[in-house]
Amino acid sequence: MTRKIIPATLIAGDGIGPEIMDATLAVLDAVEAPFEWDRQIAGMGALKDTGDPLPQATLDSIRRTRLGLKGPLETPSGGGFRSINVRLREAFKLYANIRPALTIIPGGRYDNIDLVICRENLEGLYMGFENFIAIDNDPHAVGMATGVNTRQGSRHILEYAFEYAIANGRKKVTVVHKANIMKALTGIFLETAREMYEASYKGRIEFEEVIVDACAMKLVMNPWQFDVLVTTNLFGDILSDLTSGLVGGLGMAPGANIGADAAIFEAVHGSAPDIAGKGIANPIALILASAMMLDHVGLQDKATRVRKAVGETLNVDKIRTGDLGGKANTRELTDALVRRARNG
């Protein structure tokens, strides 16, 4: 049998990144995923090794492969360098951040959750138009930020969300906004959503509008009322951590960054410095992200095998890491996943 080789860039990342990436590669090997990895570095590790948190070689690699699997990258808070995640999204115009929250382990605080957050990934308050204003002796007397949303940028993610919802047999798209207060910044997003729905999607799918603060409450009280949610950058970031909490936490939440020039797959969570190096991190979020990557390149059969292995390991073998209430470490969970994936 001839197998098509698929070149892809691999960034292990910071903190728990290398641990969960090893686990993910083991599972991908077990299903004979045909990726030819070009290993590159980014983030705090790259800064320490090369003096540059985003080396040119890493950008060149993604430009060539147009496909990446990435561990979390640490970003200093307050000062320091600008988020490498944000810079990667900008460099490859990764305008759609798709973050599904799906219940895999039944009997938790919430059951049968199946939501997808489609987050605008390039605009809003993430553009870095920020500065401090000095008054008298205080260089940080005022902090300010300018958010920018464009009609074009809003159209891109809204079209992605509507098309995604229809293609995946979803019932409803909810646009989440704060246009009552930020009438221009998030008003343009809402206005564009309404226009696009009227012009192209009415009758094909349900549509509703929710203000972000009420949305947060509704997601906690009755998350089943939602299906696909589409929103601006910052709200999507916050709500996707919230929805991960409906399905067992950040250890269960994968994400895809999709754009015109490339697609990069990663977990929703960060580098988890509090547990890094301890061998106890849950690799499932990144493993589920790698399944999204397999879907993206048309290898749905292998994606299904990965997801099946995850379900069987967690629910039949009942091997789970500490964040899921289990006792297994990353190694034990990975071995179990590989056994299941190989036999899938």
Which amino acid makes up residue 34?
A: P
Minimum distance from residue 190 beta carbon to ligand NAI (Å): 26
Contact 255, 70 (CB under 8 A): no
CA dihedral for 111, 175, 71, 76, sign (positive or negative) = negative
Q: Which of 305, 296, 245 is nearest to 113 (CA)?
A: 245
3-class SS at 229? Answer: strand
The answer to whether residue 233 forms part of the interface with ligand NAI (CB under 6 A) is no
Minimum distance from residue 192 beta carbon to ligand NAI (Å): 26
| 110 annotated active-site | no
| 171 annotated active-site | no
The answer to whether residue 248 forms part of the interface with ligand NAI (CB under 6 A) is no
Interstrand relation of 35-40 and 263-267 (parallel, antiparallel or unpaired): unpaired
Contact 262, 38 (CB under 8 A): no
Binder to ligand NAI among 282, 290, 313, 334 (CB under 6 A)? 282
Strand partners, 38: 9
Helices 84-91 and 56-65, axial angle in degrees (round to 10): 40
Q: What are the helix (H) ranges across 168-283?
A: 187-196, 212-221, 233-245
Minimum distance from residue 95 beta carbon to ligand NAI (Å): 16
The answer to whether residue 237 forms part of the interface with Mg ion (CB under 5 A) is yes
Q: By CB under 6 A, which span of 34-42, 201-209, 269-277, 331-339 interacts with ligand NAI?
A: 269-277
Minimum distance from residue 85 beta carbon to Mg ion (Å): 9
29, 49, 111, 213: the active-site residue: 213
At 268, give phi and psi (nearest 5°).
-70, -30
Binder to ligand NAI among 45, 53, 68, 72 (CB under 6 A)? 72
3-class SS at 170? Answer: coil
Minimum distance from residue 75 beta carbon to Mg ion (Å): 10
Q: Residue 120 or residue 266: which is nearer to ligand NAI going by CB?
A: 266
Binder to ligand NAI among 24, 85, 154, 233 (CB under 6 A)? 85
Q: By CB under 5 A, which span of 66-74, 179-187, 237-245, 280-288 interacts with Mg ion?
A: 237-245
3-class SS at 177? Answer: strand
| Cβ atoms within 10 Å, residue 115 | 23
| 241 annotated active-site | no
Q: By CB under 6 A, which span of 166-174, 194-202, 219-227, 265-273 interacts with ligand NAI?
A: 265-273
Q: Which of 163, 167, 123 is nearest to 145 (CA)?
A: 123
With CB cut-offs between 5 and 8 Å by kind, which of Mg ion, ligand NAI, none does residue 237 bind? Mg ion
Q: By CB under 6 A, which span of 51-59, 168-176, 205-213, 280-288 interacts with ligand NAI?
A: 280-288
Interstrand relation of 172-177 and 228-231 (parallel, antiparallel or unpaired): parallel
The answer to whether residue 125 forms part of the interface with ligand NAI (CB under 6 A) is no
The answer to whether residue 74 forms part of the interface with Mg ion (CB under 5 A) is no
With CB cut-offs between 5 and 8 Å by kind, which of ligand NAI, Mg ion, none does residue 312 bind? none
Contact 104, 243 (CB under 8 A): no
Distances (CA, A) of 140 to 25, 76, 80, 135: 45, 18, 15, 8
Binder to ligand NAI among 39, 145, 220, 273 (CB under 6 A)? 273
| 60 annotated active-site | no
Instruction: Please give the size of the binding site for Mg ion, defined by CB under 5 A.
Output: 1
The answer to whether residue 244 forms part of the interface with ligand NAI (CB under 6 A) is no
| Cβ atoms within 10 Å, residue 40 | 21
Residues contributing to the site for ligand NAI (CB under 6 A):
16, 20, 72-75, 85, 250-251, 266, 269-275, 281-282, 285, 323
Q: Which residues are catalytic?
A: 126, 178, 213, 237
